[in-house]
Structure 1
Amino acid sequence: MLLYSNISLSVEAPEFLLNCFVRSPIWQRWLSLPLSILFLLAMGANATLLITIWLEASLHEPLYYLLSLLSLLDIVLCLTVIPKVLAIFWFDLRPISHSACFLQMFIMNCFLGMESCTFLVMAYDRYVAICKPLRYPSIITDRFVAKAVVFILARNTILTAPVPILSARLHYCGKNMIENCICANLPVSKLSCDNITLNKIYHLIVAWTLLGSDLVLIFLSYTFILRAVLRLKAKGAAAKALSTCGSHFILILFFSTILLVLIFTHMAKQKVPPEIPVLLNVLHHVIPAAFNPIVYGVRTKEIKQGIWKLLRSGG
């Protein structure tokens, strides 16, 4: 009997099970409705923004191309995470194959990094617009955006690809229950019978190299912007200059605040319920996606006009 038990434990399970608040059914009931609303809002708002920018010729400018990229990234991230979470809530569809799990892991890591890098490029755009306004048309061009997009894709794909590869090479035996709603790197790797030190080290290095460096450079950009704004003497010039950065700054707050709270709750695991980091992990993939296009739509006159034109033509 002991021999049979040892053999069964060494056999790799064909799939993982996502333990998404299964032990707390009340969380599932309360979360399913707002999560569904946020998901529909994210899909609808980002699709509307993309269509508006595509159809409105006046929005065919570098800043709006970057905003389109941000909307595409948000849509992919939402579709990668939220439908599976809702399927667990509604139909208890917890199983996920190894290949699907590692693919989800790659998309989450890669596209979150791309989103962070897009914010960095947008911060540089605002820096040039305010600190070097006369040179803006010659610096921020369509060619600049094309090069920026290639850089964003290449940097994040190359640096994040090893994360799921390192997890996929591990031998998974015995336990197959992921204590999360998503296939996050460390919760999945911890199910392995192998040593995961390399996974932990690489995950930490990549997270701080990509997201950490982006946040530092964004902070420096806004430091230079604020310094330039404070030097403006003309009446109302400072307020006008800051208003051009307002939408972008709010988007960064959506993205970075949830991310920082998630990091701190992970660091204080013993002091917070285990459901909280899992919930924040899910919300980080839908809240920014739902509100990013709304913020730009409300605060940017050109986008508002484009949306009204789109609605009138549709009606």
Structure 2
Amino acid sequence: MDTENNTNEDFYRPKTFLLIGIPGLEMAEFWMSIPMCIMYVLTVLGNSAMLLIIMPQETFHKPMYLFLCLLSIIDLVASATTTPKILCIFWFNDKEIAFDACLAQLFFIHSLSMMESTILLAMAFDRYVAICHPLRYTSILSNSTIVKIAILAMIRGSLFMAPAPFLIRRLSYCRTNIIAHTYCEHMAVVKIACTDTTINKVYGLTVALLVIAVDIICITVSYSAIVWAVFRLSSKEARHKAMGTCAPHICVILISYVPALFSFFTHRFGHNIPLHIHIILANLYILIPPMFNPMIYGARTKEIRRRIITVFTHTHVFSHTFALWVILLTNPCCYA
């Protein structure tokens, strides 16, 4: 009996965790939830629109657009994994999350981030081939190659994050089950354990170096080669066009990696940064890239922009909206 009690004391796994939101800003959480909800709605609408515009049209079945579809799918799933629960915490004070559900959320958040990083790397390679080896573009980046890259991204993200739930299960949570965060982030869950977490920390650092660091280095090399090739072009117009095709991808890379790197480094080295600042920025890291990705590509890609205008024109959305406003403004009965 004593042995069993000692075992329970040495290893305690809570049935649920409590996600307490943003400590110190409890009174402001409701007001913060409003822009978060708007951002989530824009994320769903924007990425769904990208899929609905690109997938049915065979003319869009090219590497760059297929990569955009993969990016939109990842963003939709990643947002659905976190944002609804965050809004439930802010709106309904629903802070409980089952132990296994927390591990599942943790797995999906980080594995999907790795998948997105892989797709961004593939998109950088796509731009490199298009600009530096245009004659070999279709042979190098065929549809079968895109499928292989998509499968590789899924396998890479899943395999790298597969050990995380098992490593967390071996920890003891004898002090508290309260997570000072809005979602189950890897280090946020590891930090509240009362046993040695060295293996978990080393694992997290190793995965970050093998994925984020390697991908950033490869993307930098790709764009260095692109810049070198662009400046060798004789025509100023050709240089401008080549860099214009890269601009959306560069913007997406910046809004994807900068918040991710900030969140990663503040967890390990930013001990002087207030906790609520770190949590807010971690939430923005989840919300901002999925929302802005379709906006950036929709605004900067001529073919997508033309398709959006065509869709709106054919469905007479503008004319219907204008007619509705005319009725409302000219008919006083509508206000009764």
Q: Same fold (TM over 0.5)?
A: yes
**Deviation (angstroms), 1:12:** 3.7
CA distance in 2, matches of 1:97, 1:189: 16
Match of residue 181 from structure 1: 182
Match of residue 232 from structure 2: 231
Counterpart check, 1:19 vs 2:20: yes
8 A contact 2:122–2:149 mirrored in 1? yes
Deviates more, 1:282-291 or 1:184-193: 184-193
Per-residue deviation, residues 185-236 of structure 1 (Å, max 9, x unmatched): 1221233333211111111100111111001100110000000001001231
Counterpart check, 1:284 vs 2:285: yes
Q: TM-score, normalised by structure 2?
A: 0.88
**Deviation (angstroms), 1:172:** 2.6
**Deviation (angstroms), 1:283:** 1.0
One-letter amino acid matched to 2:93: D
Runs (4 or more) in structure 1 with deviation over 6 Å come to 5-10
Aligned with 2:311: secondary structure? helix
8 A contact 2:23–2:276 mirrored in 1? no
Match of residue 192 from structure 2: 191
8 A contact 1:106–1:163 mirrored in 2? yes
Match of residue 270 from structure 2: 269
Match of residue 41 from structure 1: 42
**Deviation (angstroms), 1:8:** 9.2
One-letter amino acid matched to 1:92: N
Aligned with 1:222: secondary structure? helix
Match of residue 75 from structure 1: 76
Match of residue 30 from structure 2: 29
Deviates more, 1:6-15 or 1:287-296: 6-15
Counterpart check, 1:54 vs 2:47: no
CA distance in 2, matches of 1:278, 1:91: 19
CA distance in 1, matches of 2:190, 2:125: 37
Q: TM-score, normalised by structure 1?
A: 0.93
Identity of aligned residues (%): 37
Query: What is the CA RMSD across the aligned residues, in angstroms?
Result: 1.9
Question: Which structure has the higher relative contact order (CA within 8 Å, separation 6+)?
Answer: 1
1:217-256 correspondence to structure 2 within 5 Å:
217-256=218-257
8 A contact 1:21–1:27 mirrored in 2? no
Compared CA separation, residues 7 and 160, structure 1 to 2 (3 A): closer
CA distance in 2, matches of 1:8, 1:157: 31
8 A contact 1:173–1:191 mirrored in 2? no
8 A contact 1:13–1:174 mirrored in 2? no
Match of residue 130 from structure 1: 131
Aligned with 1:284: secondary structure? helix
One-letter amino acid matched to 1:285: I
Count, aligned residues: 311
Per-residue deviation, residues 52-71 of structure 1 (Å, max 9, x unmatched): 00122211111111110000
1:192-211 correspondence to structure 2 within 5 Å:
192-211=193-212
CA distance in 2, matches of 1:240, 1:253: 21
Match of residue 100 from structure 2: 99
8 A contact 1:56–1:306 mirrored in 2? no
Unaligned runs of 5+ in 2: 317-336
**Deviation (angstroms), 1:22:** 4.7
**Deviation (angstroms), 1:270:** 3.5
Larger Rg: 2
Per-residue deviation, residues 219-254 of structure 1 (Å, max 9, x unmatched): 110000000001001231111111111111111011
